[in-house]
Amino acid sequence: MSMNPELKRNLWLELTPHRLAGMPLVLFAIFFLAASLDKTEASKAISGVSVVLFIALVVLWGTRQAAESVNEEVRDHTWDGQRMSSIGPWDMTWGKLLGSTVFPWYGGIICLVVYVLSSMVAVERNPVETALMMTLAGLFGQSVAMLASLQAVRKDRKYNKSNAAGIFILGVGLTWPIISFALNASVMFKWYGIEFESLSFTTMSLAVFLAWAVTGVYRLMRTELQMKNGPYVWLAFVCFISMYVAGFGWAEDVGNGLFNMTTLAASTATLAVYLMAFSERKDPVSFRRLVIAYGRRDWHRTLQELPCWAVALPVVAAASVCVMLTSGPQAMDGVPQTSFSMLVLASMLFVVRDLSLILYFNFAKNPKRADMLMALCLFLFYGILPGIMSGMDIDVLAALFWPRGDSLAFLSVAAAFAEAAVAGSLVLKRWQGIYGTA
């Protein structure tokens, strides 16, 4: 069986004899230093240092390498060559993921072995499971970084240093709290009523989310190789993550628990919509393909051309209906159920308004900073303006920008509807300005 070419290329570049010899030399020198500084508890010192070194190598350096692997191909104009090769999307995914990070992992595995051995000597808790958790966390952070960098390349096919830095921070920012949560003293908590210990729950969650992240990289890689994706996997992920987060809302009181869970699910699905609305391409050309496919009644193609944020909208709607159904008198202090349903409806309409505005800005002649402008608008709509109104005790006006569940619920729905309608007509007008017909 021949080796994955992408992995092979990375091995040529990353694992030179000098590097192979240098890494263990440096690491063991640091372990020796740690042991010599704390002779009484040398194994504990080595164990601690090995975790720090693992984080530095795999989480910091490895995540950066993963974030840069596709970005650098784009910058160096080698990406088109790779896209035209016969390497399949799966081989490209794991070849790049493991290949670009192979040297940090070379050092990381040494650290893990040293950690397990020294922890066993120091009689620390679950060294093998902790090592497994750290391995999964490292892979997860790297996968997310590669996923984000591929998404950035899909959005704007050019090397962007600040994007790369942002993606690196995202990968590290996700991994760091997970590792520190799992490494801290054992915490017991319930998820869907089942009691878990923090380390084992983190390890299991990481394994599942790593699978999703790698699936995401694989699917974006398919798109880069000009293969089409259907909407079902993304839809399944939005459902999964909504259900996953909902599990944390479980409560002994069934009524409260259900309400908490549906609210968490709806919020998570809504966040997924916003995340994709900001990270996907939104130029009129990409929608043109959708409109053409729809015009031809080519449903298969129409589903393939649907943006992910649109695919997630039915989940938001379904979860919101569940929130309405599960909201009893306990939903909000003293808020009648009807008003609360109005609040949910207003929230959905505000989401429609925001999505319409994002499209409106992106359909402009020069949409370079459209997403930045929209982020500013969201900050104004949901932060500054309602804050000013509330500060000035004019709650009536605050209801124009913020969904309300009190006596102003109806006004909030009416305002959200009007704003969504205006934003929608603006998008339509801009579209007609470009293509003549809707």
Partner 1 sequence: MITVKDLYFEYPGVLALDNVSFSVGEGSITALVGPNGAGKTTLLRCIAALDEPVSGGITLDGVDVLENPRDCHRKVGYISDFFGLYDNLTVEQCLRYTAMSHGMNESGWEAGVKRASSRVGLGVRLQQKAGALSRGLRQRLAIAQSIIHSPKLLLLDEPASGLDPEARAALSGLFKGLRDEGMTLVVSSHIIAELEEYSTDMLILKDGRVAGQRRVGQEAGAVSSVLMKVTLARPDSRLVEIIGGASGVSDIRLDGRHCWFRLTGGDAAASDLLGTLVGQGVRVSGFTDVKAGMQHEYMTVVRPGAVRSADQKTAPADNVHDAGEEARP
Binding of partner 1 by 68 (CB under 8 A): no
**Would you state the structure tokens that stand for residue 402, as one six-digit string?**
């913020």
Report how many residues bind partner 1 under the rule CB under 8 A. 33
190 vs 429 by CB, closer to partner 1: 429
82 vs 163 by CB, closer to partner 1: 82
- Near partner 1 by CB under 8 A, which window of 176-184, 225-233, 271-279, 335-343? 225-233
The 4-23 contact track toward partner 1, x by CB under 8 A, reads: -xx-xx--xx----------
CA neighbor of 72 nearest in space, from 140, 17, 18, 13: 13
Considering only 17, 39, 86, 188, the residue that binds partner 1 (CB under 8 A) is 86
Per-residue HEC secondary structure of 189-249 comes to EEECCEEEEHHHHHHHHHHHHHHHHHHHHHHHHHHHCCCCCCCHHHHHHHHHHHHHHHHHH
Binding of partner 1 by 84 (CB under 8 A): yes
Binding of partner 1 by 81 (CB under 8 A): yes
- Near partner 1 by CB under 8 A, which window of 72-80, 138-146, 148-156, 247-255? 72-80
Q: Which residue has the tokens 């230093």?
A: 33
77 vs 297 by CB, closer to partner 1: 77
Binding of partner 1 by 227 (CB under 8 A): yes
Binding of partner 1 by 354 (CB under 8 A): no
CA neighbor of 149 nearest in space, from 95, 209, 93, 198: 93
Binding of partner 1 by 82 (CB under 8 A): yes
Q: What is the DSSP string of 114-130?
A: HHHHHHHHTT-S-HHHH
Alpha-carbon distance values, 131 to 50, 57, 135, 200, 203 (Å): 11, 14, 6, 12, 10
> What's the closest the beta carbon of residue 102 comes to partner 1, in angstroms?
15
**Under a CB-based contact definition with an 8 Å cutoff, are residues 358 and 279 in contact?**
no
Considering only 30, 35, 56, 83, the residue that binds partner 1 (CB under 8 A) is 83
187 vs 227 by CB, closer to partner 1: 227
3-class DSSP state of 188: strand
> What's the closest the beta carbon of residue 118 comes to partner 1, in angstroms?
36
Phi, psi dihedrals of residue 296, rounded to the nearest 5° = -85, 0
- Near partner 1 by CB under 8 A, which window of 73-81, 183-191, 307-315, 412-420? 73-81
- Near partner 1 by CB under 8 A, which window of 33-41, 54-62, 85-93, 376-384? 85-93
**Under a CB-based contact definition with an 8 Å cutoff, are residues 250 and 306 in contact?**
no
> What's the closest the beta carbon of residue 308 comes to partner 1, in angstroms?
18
41 vs 298 by CB, closer to partner 1: 298
- Please list every residue from 145 through 174 that binds partner 1, using CB under 8 A: none
Q: Which DSSP helix (H) or strand (E) runs through 420?
A: helix 409-435
As a whole number of angstroms, the distance between CA 340 and CA 334 comes to: 10
Binding of partner 1 by 186 (CB under 8 A): no
> What's the closest the beta carbon of residue 365 comes to partner 1, in angstroms?
6
DSSP letter at 392 equals T
Q: What is the CA radius of gyration of the chain?
A: 25
> What's the closest the beta carbon of residue 274 comes to partner 1, in angstroms?
22
Q: Which residue has the tokens 């989401």?
A: 351
**Would you state the structure tokens that stand for residue 29, as one six-digit string?**
């020198």
2 vs 437 by CB, closer to partner 1: 2
12 vs 248 by CB, closer to partner 1: 12
Considering only 39, 226, 252, 334, the residue that binds partner 1 (CB under 8 A) is 226
Maximal CA-CA distance, the chain: 79
**Would you state the structure tokens that stand for residue 244, as one six-digit string?**
């996953």
Considering only 36, 78, 184, 330, the residue that binds partner 1 (CB under 8 A) is 78
CA atoms within 13 A on the CB side of 358: 22
Binding of partner 1 by 432 (CB under 8 A): no
Geometric angle at alpha carbon 338, from 258 and 340, rounded to 5°: 55
As a whole number of angstroms, the distance between CA 358 and CA 352 comes to: 10
Q: Which residue has the tokens 């890689």?
A: 221
Q: Which DSSP helix (H) or strand (E) runs through 1?
A: none
19 vs 190 by CB, closer to partner 1: 19
CA neighbor of 62 nearest in space, from 1, 163, 137, 154: 137
> What's the closest the beta carbon of residue 374 comes to partner 1, in angstroms?
17
Binding of partner 1 by 2 (CB under 8 A): yes
Binding of partner 1 by 372 (CB under 8 A): no
- Please list every residue from 272 through 331 that binds partner 1, using CB under 8 A: 283-285, 288-289, 292
Which spans of this chain sit near partner 1 (rule: CB under 8 A)? Answer: 2-3, 5-6, 8-9, 12-13, 73, 76-87, 225-227, 283-285, 288-289, 292, 365, 367, 434
